[in-house]
Amino acid sequence: MAITKKPLLLLIILAYFLIISVVVAQRETSPSQQTRLQEARQCRLQRLTATQPNQRIQSEGGVTELWNEFEDQFQCAGVAAMRNIIQPNSLSLPNFSPSPRLVYIEQGQGLLGLSHPGCAETYHSGQQYKSPREGSSPRGQQGQQSQRDQHQKVHRIRRGDIVALPAGVAHWCYNDGNEQLVAVSVSDLNNNANQLEQKLRSFYLAGGQPQKSMQIQQQQGQHRETFQNIFRAFDENLMAEAFNIPVDVVRRMQQEDERGLIVRVKGEGMRMIRPEEEEEYEQSYQSRRNGLDEVYCNMQIRQYLDNPKEADVYSRQAGRLNIVNSQKLRILNYMDMSAEKGNLYPNAMHTPHWTLNAHSIVYVTRGEAHVQVVGSNGQRVLDERVNQGNLFVVPQHFVSTIRAGDNGFEYVAFKTSGQPMKSPLVGYTSAFKAMPIQVLTNSFQISSQEAQSLKYNREHHTMLLPPRTGSSS
């Protein structure tokens, strides 16, 4: 009996140590692996919905609207969406975010400035100011000299532009037009640049969310602390010493400001060198550029996304697709994001397809359409009519299709990859067209002639399909 018990005891001991090693291995899983596992759990979606913003922050010079980032579809994609409406002669205050952000200008025009670390202030405005010499007192008037204001490049943005805002780069936006500037943006919270938790946040260098707005959100259970002035928590004397300015100025920088995140500009507006005025200045500065200027400081941050002459996919009967990826806009190499603008003619279709390496966050800019999305469980997770202002997510590998309404349909899709790849089920590059006919006949129990029709009936179309004669929407 003792002889037979020993192998059994040994087996129990080995099983025990095996269980312990598995538990330890799970605990020692790398943070990146844990993140991927967490994201996988978050993408077990039962239903997607086309939604409107559910939070609103009213400021003196405009409105900031936020989609609910804690919805399952946004948690799956690891993104947050926002829409800023800036009134004429109003300034969206300087701030930065730990996540890269793509912005689509839906309406209006304005000026956008980015403060790239390590880049020189090579542009001069016409405004004169008096600057104290090094070592002089900030309160005194002695030793002051007149200088022209210097700043980094200012970019002109207009309706139809896609704008790239890298993580951690302070930026501001001024509406110098005669109509509202409407900017829709998506932040990639899961991007490698963001080493904080998956949450939308902006560090404001001025202003901050008004107390009244915060109280309303608290009452609605929507309180967020992600749009606050970072200077308020610093010691005022420490900041006065750091900037070499009077304490009174620091107190004004730190004061509670009910103007909010977007403020009205006093007087007739702001005066600095405009992008329209840059060409002559650029020629004089060209010979003084160094390697950092060429590669980073003067990198383009915007591209017009709605130019019919630059369409990547065009169908005379169905519409067009314009794509901005990391090949066209080099800064997207650092952000690993891209965008697509779709313009579908009445009753045209975007072919059923899936994206191999990106989530798609789709914002409707005009018209209405019937959208269907199918998940890995073989069930429709989205089957709705979507309209202007709606936003919805199509997760990676989920198969989707769009049928435009009677008045056409336009959208902009933000992608979480700098080089997204689509795999269509219909058309010249379809997955079925690449398969032998015998695979199709056996897969669907159809005849060879039917399989041939399945492969080749739409072979002259790519991604966009014109409506069939007599079809209904």
Q: What pLDDT, on the 0 to 100 scale, is given for residue 117?
A: 87
Q: What pLDDT, on the 0 to 100 scale, is given for residue 18?
A: 52
Residue whose pair of structure tokens reads 């200088």 in the numeric block = 147
List all residues 6 or more positions away from 174 whose beta carbon is below 8 Å from its beta carbon: 90, 91, 92, 110, 111, 112, 265, 270
pTM higher than 0.75: yes
List all residues 6 or more positions away from 135 whose beta carbon is below 8 Å from its beta carbon: none
Least confident of 15-24, 191-200, 225-234, 341-350: 15-24
Domains 55-117+150-282+293-298 and 306-465 share a fold: yes
Q: State the average pLDDT over residues 267-295.
A: 53
Q: What pLDDT, on the 0 to 100 scale, is given for residue 3?
A: 46
Q: State the average pLDDT over residues 331-340.
A: 96
Q: What pLDDT, on the 0 to 100 scale, is given for residue 9?
A: 62
Q: State the average pLDDT over residues 363-391.
A: 96
Helix intervals (H) in 220-311: 236-243, 247-254, 278-285, 291-292
Asked if 247 and 237 touch (Cβ cutoff 8 Å), the reply is yes
Whether residue 287 is predicted with pLDDT greater than 80 in this model: the reply is no
At 216, the pLDDT band (50, 70, 90 cuts) reads: low
| 3-class secondary-structure state, position 284 | helix
pLDDT, tens digit, 9 for 90 and up, residues 217-229: 554 555 556 788 9
Would you identify the CATH topology of the domain 55-117+150-282+293-298?
A: Jelly Rolls (2.60.120)
Residues of the chain with pLDDT > 90: what percent? 66
pLDDT, tens digit, 9 for 90 and up, residues 110-161: 999 999 888 877 666 655 555 555 555 554 445 555 566 677 788 999 999 9
What are the angstrom distances between the C-alpha of 61 and each of 12, 57, 158, 216? 71, 11, 19, 19
Whether residue 318 is predicted with pLDDT greater than 50 in this model: the reply is yes
- Which two three-digit tokens encode residue 202? 């902006």
pLDDT, tens digit, 9 for 90 and up, residues 403-460: 999 999 999 999 999 999 999 999 999 999 999 999 999 999 999 999 999 999 999 9
Domain residue limits, the chain: 55-117+150-282+293-298, 306-465
What is the distance between the alpha carbons of residues 85 and 423, in angstroms, rounded to a whole number? Answer: 36
Whether residue 261 is predicted with pLDDT greater than 70 in this model: the reply is yes
Whether residue 88 is predicted with pLDDT greater than 90 in this model: the reply is yes
Asked if 437 and 455 touch (Cβ cutoff 8 Å), the reply is yes
Q: What pLDDT, on the 0 to 100 scale, is given for residue 226?
A: 76
Whether residue 464 is predicted with pLDDT greater than 70 in this model: the reply is yes
Burial class (CB in 10 A: 0-12, 13-18, 19+), 289: middle
Q: What pLDDT, on the 0 to 100 scale, is given for residue 286?
A: 45
Furthest CA-CA distance within the chain: 103
Q: What pLDDT, on the 0 to 100 scale, is given for residue 270?
A: 75
Q: What pLDDT, on the 0 to 100 scale, is given for residue 175?
A: 96
User: 306-465: CATH homologous superfamily?
Assistant: Jelly Rolls (2.60.120.10)
Q: What pLDDT, on the 0 to 100 scale, is given for residue 387?
A: 97
At 334, the pLDDT band (50, 70, 90 cuts) reads: very high
35 compared with 456, residue with greater pLDDT:
456
Burial class (CB in 10 A: 0-12, 13-18, 19+), 41: exposed
Summary mean pLDDT of the chain: 84
